[in-house]
Amino acid sequence: MASKWIDERDNSFLLHEVFEIGKDILGKSPYADHDADMVNMVLNEAAKLAENEIAPTYPDEIHKKPVEAVFKDGKVFVPESYHRLWQLYSEGGWMCTSDEYEYGGQQLPAVVSAVTAQMFLSCNQAFVMYPGLTHGAARLLIDFFEHPLKKIIIEKMFTGQWAGTMCLTEPGAGSDVGALKTTAKRNPDGTFSITGTKSFISSGDHDLTENIIHPVLARIEGDPAGTGGISIFVVPKIRINDDGSLGEPNDVTCGNIESKMGIHGNATCTLNFGDKGNCVGYLMGQEREGMKIMFHMMNEERQGVGMMGVALATAGYRHAVVYAQERLQGANIMAGKDPNAPQVPIIQHADVRRMLLKQKSITEGIRALTLLCYFCMDKKMVAETEDDKTKWTDLVDILTPLVKAYCTDMGMVVNDLAVQTFGGYGYCREYPVEQMMRDQKINCIYEGTNGIQALDLLGRKLPMKKGMVFVSLLGLMQEYIAEAKAVESLSAEAAVVEAAINACAGTAMEYAGMLKKNPFVPLLGAYDFMHCLSDAITGALHLKMAVTATRALESASLDKEKHFYTGKIEGARFFINRTTAVVPARCETIKQDEISAVRIPDEAFIV
């Protein structure tokens, strides 16, 4: 029976058949030690952990209720089932699958590590956020922390003995990071005294580990206002002795945890630093480089959040398919008004099939988009020239806001349709699709809201290197289109995608001119443009998948494989002809001088 949680076959298809990592990535430095068999073994073990250990904790199958973190007597306690998961996750080496050997990592390609994370996230996002943030914080230390304790801290984080967070947001500041009030005062020994409050800190406090390492943004006394005056500090929950043993508490306390719409098992904390004037932090990198350094982790987290969008969409869709195959209701339409016609599974009804194929085509499209981003990271790592390294790095940069925003927005569409497929049962806690939908919503919000990602695309990413990075991205899509044009059965879809890509290119050029003359049009259209571009790129990725599937179908002998490849082709046609096809018209619309959202007085929104 097919898994309701993870899609092993599509992951394998993307890695080995579409992106061909065996040809382009594996066996090359720094991945010289790995081959396809090794990758498949890793994916198989990840699938077992996901399906057999993580999935049963989402939700609690015994009590049939969401599993929640609890704040009691100033301490945070995670769900009891998470302790076993943390141990299994840590002992299995999943914390550092793609990290360097010298830090205890397995040095696997980033795209392989992303697939394992996707499987885990499909089964319980709230839990996986604890090791995910630990990994992100450890990566910052590897790249930017120069201190005698560096290797000790990283080793303890990668083995799961200690955990990590990201402390950026403050009460009242929200996305305006430059308005932070947390301060750092110099101490004679070179450390800093940290004072301030951070809010909405995921995994901010818990009882999974004996210590938690907090990267904290703060302003050194006397440094200028705004983001340019921010530095970043390593602040442990418990002080660390020179030999790596734990000292006294470091005046880091949890004020409360948020009562949230979803991800109940993850503790979203308000953290207070230095209430007693006794919180010590270590400078990371150079002074006033805090934002630049934090964005290294932020971009990693944004890519990871995009993967969260894919993961929850995967689980929601697969639960919906299994339910639709089993739920009997109504007769087949071909039976007409025959009162004796037997009931059939709802998957035979046209509107349910529409919902399911929409879920399938979106989920597989956004999975390809996220893995393209990670594949570009690996292409950079194996590149032999600086020009090639730059090319792939730039592609990661421009893809990141699309991965974060589009994949979570469209993941939300999938989870909404999954609930709709279940009907009234989908709205009840008897089935987990309602929890998946609630959990998915946070992915559209944190690590920079999706509106901010659209503005980042418009204001920073499109103009990179005078637009040449954008041109490079579109050039890669044109390669996929050219491949599809050579396949007669896909030539019509190739023309649709090409028209969408060209429409996005033209809109970007016009927006560039408008930003100087009438900025409100592109600013109001940024979010819609981000979706247009993503719909076009996802259409191109569907083309590439359909080309691969068409060729593979010719030699497939097993019915299961024939069904898989046929599903890829029909899913591509559905997405391209129903979503990518409307991109040119939408681009024309968002270029119009329609700025009612600017003209309307504040007082007119609600009277």
Do 139 and 268 lie in one domain? The reply is: no
Q: Find tokens 């301030």 and name the residue.
A: 196
pLDDT at 174: 61
Of 158, 174, 208, which residue constitutes the final position of a domain? 158
pLDDT at 66: 62
Do 107 and 15 lie in one domain? The reply is: yes
Q: What is the CATH number of the domain that holds 150?
A: 1.10.540.10
The CA distance from 298 to 456, in Å, is: 13
Smallest Cα–Cα separation from 43: which of 99, 131, 125, 119?
A: 119
pLDDT at 47: 98
pLDDT at 175: 61
Do 574 and 478 lie in one domain? The reply is: yes
Give percent of the chain above pLDDT 70: 98
The answer to the question of residue 108 being in a domain is yes
Do 34 and 148 lie in one domain? The reply is: yes
Write out the H or E segment, with its range, that includes residue 405: helix 386-422
The answer to the question of residue 570 being in a domain is yes
Do 114 and 201 lie in one domain? The reply is: no
The answer to the question of residue 59 being in a domain is yes
Q: How long is the chain?
A: 607
In this structure, are residues 419 and 427 in contact, taking their beta carbons and an 8 Å threshold? yes
Do 14 and 143 lie in one domain? The reply is: yes
Do 253 and 133 lie in one domain? The reply is: no
Q: What is the CATH number of the domain that holds 181?
A: 2.40.110.20
154-175 pLDDT per residue, tens:
999 999 999 999 999 898 766 6
Q: Where are the beta strands (DSSP E) in 438-596?
A: none
Of 158, 182, 211, which residue constitutes the final position of a domain? 158
Q: Is the pLDDT of residue 151 over 60?
A: yes
Write out the H or E segment, with its range, that includes residue 239: strand 238-240
pTM for this prediction: 0.96
Q: Is the pLDDT of residue 306 over 80?
A: yes
Cα-based distances in Å from 317 to 18, 94, 356, 440: 22, 26, 7, 13
Do 82 and 170 lie in one domain? The reply is: no
Do 148 and 170 lie in one domain? The reply is: no
Do 87 and 214 lie in one domain? The reply is: no
Of 244, 271, 292, which residue constitutes the final position of a domain? 292
pLDDT at 69: 93
Within 13 Å, how many C-alpha atoms sit on residue 495's CB side?
A: 4
How many domains, in total, are found in the chain?
A: 3
pLDDT at 226: 87
351-385 pLDDT per residue, tens:
999 999 999 999 999 999 999 999 999 999 999 99
pLDDT at 299: 84
Residues 6+ apart with CB under 8 A from 548: 13, 17, 18, 568
The CA distance from 118 to 122, in Å, is: 6
The answer to the question of residue 259 being in a domain is yes
Q: Is the pLDDT of residue 567 over 90?
A: yes
Within 13 Å, how many C-alpha atoms sit on residue 589's CB side?
A: 9
Cα-based distances in Å from 467 to 382, 457, 501, 520, 541: 25, 12, 15, 21, 22
Do 533 and 468 lie in one domain? The reply is: yes
- Per-chain mean pLDDT for the chain: 95
The domain of 285 spans 163-292
The CA distance from 405 to 530, in Å, is: 8
pLDDT at 296: 83
Q: Is the pLDDT of residue 554 over 80?
A: yes
- Which one is catalytic: 170, 364, 447, 493? 447
| Helix/strand/coil (H/E/C) assignment for every residue in 8-28 | HHHHHHHHHHHCCHHHHCCCC
The answer to the question of residue 95 being in a domain is yes
Pairing of β 211-220 and β 162-164: parallel
Give percent of the chain above pLDDT 90: 89
Tokens of 74: 């100033």
pLDDT at 173: 67
State the CB neighbour count (10 A cutoff) for residue 524: 15
Q: Find tokens 């959990």 and name the residue.
A: 439
In this structure, are residues 240 and 247 in contact, taking their beta carbons and an 8 Å threshold? yes
Q: Which residues is 65 bridged to in the sheet?
A: 60
Write out the H or E segment, with its range, that includes residue 578: helix 559-578
The answer to the question of residue 308 being in a domain is no
pLDDT at 335: 79
Q: Is the pLDDT of residue 61 over 80?
A: no
The CA distance from 149 to 152, in Å, is: 5
Q: Is 447 annotated in the active site? A: yes
pLDDT at 330: 85
Do 47 and 114 lie in one domain? The reply is: yes
pLDDT at 251: 97
Band (178; pLDDT cuts 50, 70, 90):
low
The answer to the question of residue 185 being in a domain is yes
Average pLDDT over residues 510-529: 93
65-79 pLDDT per residue, tens:
668 999 999 999 999
Band (333; pLDDT cuts 50, 70, 90):
confident
Q: Is the pLDDT of residue 448 over 80?
A: yes
Average pLDDT over residues 449-464: 96
Average pLDDT over residues 10-36: 97
Q: Is the pLDDT of residue 179 over 80?
A: no
307-327 pLDDT per residue, tens:
999 999 999 999 999 999 999
State the CB neighbour count (10 A cutoff) for residue 607: 4
The answer to the question of residue 477 being in a domain is yes
Cα Rg of the chain (Å, integer): 25
